Structures are given as structure tokens and as C-alpha cells.
Amino acid sequence: MDRFVFLTFDGLSKGAVLAAFALALVLIWRAARIVNFAQGAMAVAAAYAGYSVTTATGSYWLGFAAALVGGLLIGMVVERAVMRFVDHSSPLSEVIVALGLVLVMQAVLGMVYGNEFLPAGTPFSRNALSVGDVPLLSRYDLFVFGAVLLVLVALAALFTRTAIGLRMRASAFAPEVSRLLGVNVGGMLTLGWALASAVGALAAMLVIPTELGLHPHAMDLVFVSAFTAAVVGGLDSPPGAVVGGLTVGLILSYVSGYLGSDVTPMAVLVLLLAVLLVRPGGLFSSTVARQA
Amino acid sequence: MTADDVILQVKGLTAGYGAAPVLQDVDLTVRAGTIAAVLGANGAGKTTLLRTLSGLVRPSDGEIVYGGQPLRDVPVEQLVRRGMAHVPEGRGVVAELTVDENLRLGGLWRRDREDAAKALTEVYELFEPLAQRRRSAGHQLSGGERQMLALGRALVARPKLLLLDEPSLGLAPRVIAQIMALLRQLRDSTGLTVLLVEQNVRSALSVADEAVVMSLGRIVTATSADRLRDDEELRHAYLGF
């Protein structure tokens, strides 16, 4: 029983990060109808920017802020300089351009920073606090939960309570009508990419210290899990991304705890396959029929 | 007709989507404070005319002068700031947004927040059913309610020129009559100019001051609506009834 409790908490803290990363995928999907396969590489690049600042200044928090700002900027540049010019008539061309971006970014990061794992620090202790004899959550886990929760609340407020959020939603659903109503649709698209990329950078900053460290490929496996989480949640649903993230986190944790860590990557793929076979729209996809 | 009266002047407009132009050498003059009906069969180029006027389709030749200013290279999203509102065919209600969000979207660009809020209130007063369904999503509305929403959303911008594409499409005769009456009322009370594209000729002619008949991308006749309504021969020749 203790083991089960431990694995549950471990899974939830893993899942929170996956939720954030899945949320980044959902944000771009909603804004541009693209599954951004470059998300992992973009997030790692932002994390390297954070690493550079932390190394130079000795401050984790300055590096953390730099990674988020770096994420924003990378998202803007990728949309303005690359994605805007991709032929949107076929989703395949977008996927291939995104994969090309991954190769280029990972190669450049490898050349600049080297292909070794760099140590990534945490601002809080990762030693789990025990309740009774069971180690539950570390201070760092609480920080992860808090950060993800804050981002969720902030995004929900942005989209439902502000004029800019209304513009972003309208642009995503009906770009032409939005332009006729005076909305700068191109600007909203750039903003969508920037926000998503910043959320991805946050996820990278949170997850990299809990894995082997900073590396150009550090987010590759995380991307697969987060993509699964986003699909489980239905790709266009932010709450779905969160539930999907936590679900995948728990499954990963139980599988690695009870069956061994060798099988965890397979478990993710089995889950992805199962969802795609049974409910390809995802568990939380909106089934609203468009007929306007 | 003096020059200040003219709100929209189109000269030699040619436009289309590919190699073959849909609009060919279109000339059109619309006076401020009038309702001009653009009539014609399916595929005559009526919708393309509106889309070219609002910048969604770029002309290959010709000139559009709106409010005394040429419109070449003015981005679509700027036109509403100059008082031109386009309600596209199929109504363009954003199905995923609520009634209230759709309406607010129409006034977001406005600097004068106070007047934007006032315009919103006025639209709710004008369209009673919308006021009762503020929180409903666009896709939950009936056809008539959607048309009200699209029209109301355009009015939130307090336009000078309203481009209206087939507002009667798929609506009951009673609802069509209400919409036409509303257009007449807006023209009389606010001096709104309307360029009304319609296949429903009788409804359009019931409110229009001027009438333009299009066929195969060209304007074949431009006359007063009264004349087209009363002159059987003319109606026969161009509209087939």
C-alpha cells in the first residue's frame, strides 16, 4: 500500500509536467491546427538559454526567467520566420518542416553546448518529505505543481476573461471573419506560438532536473509522453491536456514501479494506440458540430 | 449627385481566384445613405464583388475609392476602422463563441470603449432574442438568430457602409421581412449605406433605392430600384420574372 501511495504521488508530479507540455501542444493546435513536433527541441533550446544565464549569473531564478522569455522569443521566430511560409494545404508539409526544425536545432545546440549531459539544478530540495514512513512529495514537486497550476489559471483567465484572449480564440476558429471584424489574425497566431513555446520552456525547465540533465535530446521522450497526453485529452481541450498529462504520468509511474522502467516507453505507446483506436478524437474532445 | 454624396466608387474592377477573372471591368457608384441591391443569378460574381471590396480578394485591375480614399493595399482588418463592415455569406457567426463574445468581438478594435459598450447595448435592444441568449454558443442559434447576430455584430462597429451578403438565405419569409425593414430603419435613422447582395429579388427591391444587376461577372444594368420593380420588360430581360 505504501508503495502504491508513493507511486501515485510520483506519477502525479511527473504528470503535472507532462500536462504543461501537452498544454503547449494544445495551444498551438488550437491556434494553428498544427501538431508542433518541434516543441521538444524548442523547449530544450529555451532551457539552454536559461542554463547559460544561470551559469553566468549564478542565479537559478534569472535563468528560469531567461528560459521563459527565450521560449516566447523562439516561438515568435519559429512562427514568423518558418511556419508562416509553410504550405498549409497539406498537414504533412507542416509536420516535415517541424521535424526539419528539430534536426537543425538539436544539431546547433550540440555544436554550441556539446552533446554531453549538463547538470541542471533545482531551486528546492528534491528529497521527499515523509508522512509517517512513506516518502510523498519533495519541495521541488510542490514547486512543480504550483507552477503548472499557476500557468493553467493564468491561461484560462487570458482566454476567457480578456479581450486579447477573445481575439485569439476568434482568430483560431474563424480567421477570415475575425479579419473582417478588425482582428490582427497574423499577430494572434504569432502570440499563440509564443505563449505555447513559453509554456513548453517552462515544462522543460521543470522536467530536465528530474531526468538525466540538459542535453539536446533531453525532451525527446518527454515529447512522446506529452503528445500521448494531448491526444488522450483530445488535442483541442486545455483541461483535457491536464487530465491527459496526469493520467499518463500515473500510468508511467505504476508501470515503471510494478513492471520495471524498461517497459515504460512501450506503455506510453500502447496507451496512445488504444486511445487512437477506441476514441480517435480523444477523451475530452469537444463534439460541437460546426455549421455556421 | 455631388462628389461628397458618393461613399463608394468602383472603376474597371477586375478580380478572381485563379487565371480566369470572376469580376470583369465592374463600374459601380454607391451614394451615401442609400440601399443598393446587387442582384443576379448564382455565379454572377456578387459575392466576389463584396469580397473584393473588403479586401479578401485582391483585384488584378481597377480602382476602389471609399470615402474619397483609394483602397489599394489597405489590409482587410483596417477597413472596419474606416467604417466598412462586411457580413459574409453564411453569416460568419463564430460557432464556438457565445452570442455575447461574438458581439463584443465586433467592437474590440474601438478605442472609445464607452461608445463600444453603448453600441452593444443598442444591439441587444434592437435584437430582443439575442439579449435572451447571451450565453448561448453560436452553434445553438437558429438561422434567423444567427443572421441577427451577424448583423448586430457588424452594427457594433457603427459602420458607414454595410456589405451584406445574402442575408435572406435559408430564412423564413417573416424573418426576411423583419431584416429588410430593419435595414430601411437603419438607413433612415443613422444614414447607413448598405450594399445588399441578394438572390431574393423581391425582398431586395422592397427596400433598395438603387439596383445593380450582374451577370457572368459584369454589371449589365444599374438603375433605380423603383424602375426595375415597375418595368416589366426590364425585369424580364435581366431577372427572368
Q: Classify residue B208: in a domain, yes or no.
A: yes
Chain B residue whose CA is closest to A164: B108
Whole-number average pLDDT of chain B: 91
Q: Give the residue with greater pLDDT, A289 vs B85.
A: B85
Q: What is the mean pLDDT of residues B199-216?
A: 92
**Percent of chain B scoring above 70 in pLDDT:** 98
Q: Buried b vs exposed e over B52-68: b needs ≥16 C-beta within 10 Å?
A: bbbbbbebeebebbbbe
Among A182, A288, A290, select the one facing B80 at the smallest CB separation: A182
Name the residue with cell 472596419.
B80
Q: Classify residue A75: in a domain, yes or no.
A: yes
Residue (of A182, A155, A156) closest to A170 by Cα position:
A182
Which of B9-13, B37-41, B231-235 bottoms out in mean pLDDT, i.e. has the lowest? B231-235
Round to whole Å and give the CA distance between A181 and B87.
9
Give pLDDT tens digits for A249-270: 999 999 999 998 888 888 888 9
Looking at residue A8, what is its pLDDT?
92
Q: Can you give the residue range of the structural domain that contains A241?
A: 2-119+135-278
Looking at residue A290, what is its pLDDT?
40
Q: Can you give the residue range of the structural domain that contains B169?
A: 3-91+160-239
Q: Classify residue A171: in a domain, yes or no.
A: yes
Round to whole Å and give the CA distance between A121 and A208.
9
Show residues of chain B in contact with A176, CB under 8 Å.
56, 88, 92
Low-confidence ranges of chain A (pLDDT < 70): 284-292
Looking at residue A288, what is its pLDDT?
44
Q: Classify residue A127: in a domain, yes or no.
A: no
Name the residue with cell 521535424.
A99
Among B106, B137, B138, select the one facing A181 at the smallest CB separation: B106
Show residues of chain A in contact with B54, CB under 8 Å.
180
Q: Give the residue with greater pLDDT, B64 vs A285.
A: B64
Among B81, B88, B96, select the one facing A182 at the smallest CB separation: B81
The structure's pTM equals: 0.89
Cβ pair A173:B97 closer than 8 A? yes
Number of domains forming the structure of chain A: 1
Cβ pair A180:B76 closer than 8 A? yes
Cβ pair B108:A163 closer than 8 A? yes
pLDDT bucket at B80, cuts 50 / 70 / 90: very high
Give pLDDT tens digits for B147-168: 999 999 999 999 999 999 999 9
Q: Classify residue B183: in a domain, yes or no.
A: yes
Cβ pair A173:B101 closer than 8 A? no
Give yes or no for a contact between B6 and B32, defined as CB atoms under 8 angstroms apart. Answer: yes
CATH number of the domain bearing residue B179: 3.40.50.300
Round to whole Å and give the CA distance between A177 and A75.
25
Query: Any idea of the CA torsion for B128, B130, B135, B137, to the nearest 10 degrees?
Result: 160
Round to whole Å and give the CA distance between A93 and A75.
19
Q: A186: distance to nearest CA of chain B, Å?
A: 10
User: Would you list which residues of chain A are within 8 Å, Cβ to Cβ, of chain B?
Assistant: 163, 166-167, 169-170, 173-174, 176-185, 288-292
B144 grid coordinates: 434567423
For residue B131, the number of C-alpha atoms closer than 13 Å in the C-beta half-sphere is: 9
Give, in order, the Cα–Cα distances in Å from B123 to each of A37, A146, A167, B84, B146: 44, 43, 20, 18, 14
Q: Classify residue B230: in a domain, yes or no.
A: yes
Q: Classify residue B102: in a domain, yes or no.
A: no
Q: Is B113 on the interface with A (CB under 8 A)?
A: no
Q: Classify residue B78: in a domain, yes or no.
A: yes
Number of domains forming the structure of chain B: 1
Give pLDDT tens digits for A231-243: 988 888 888 999 9
Q: Classify residue B37: in a domain, yes or no.
A: yes
Q: Classify residue A73: in a domain, yes or no.
A: yes
Tell me which of A164, A169, A171, A177 to substitute to probe the interface with B (most B C-beta atoms closer than 10 Å): A177
CATH number of the domain bearing residue A226: 1.10.3470.10
Give pLDDT tens digits for B95-135: 999 999 999 999 999 988 999 999 999 999 999 999 999 99
Looking at residue A289, what is its pLDDT?
39
Q: Classify residue B39: in a domain, yes or no.
A: yes
Q: Classify residue B114: in a domain, yes or no.
A: no
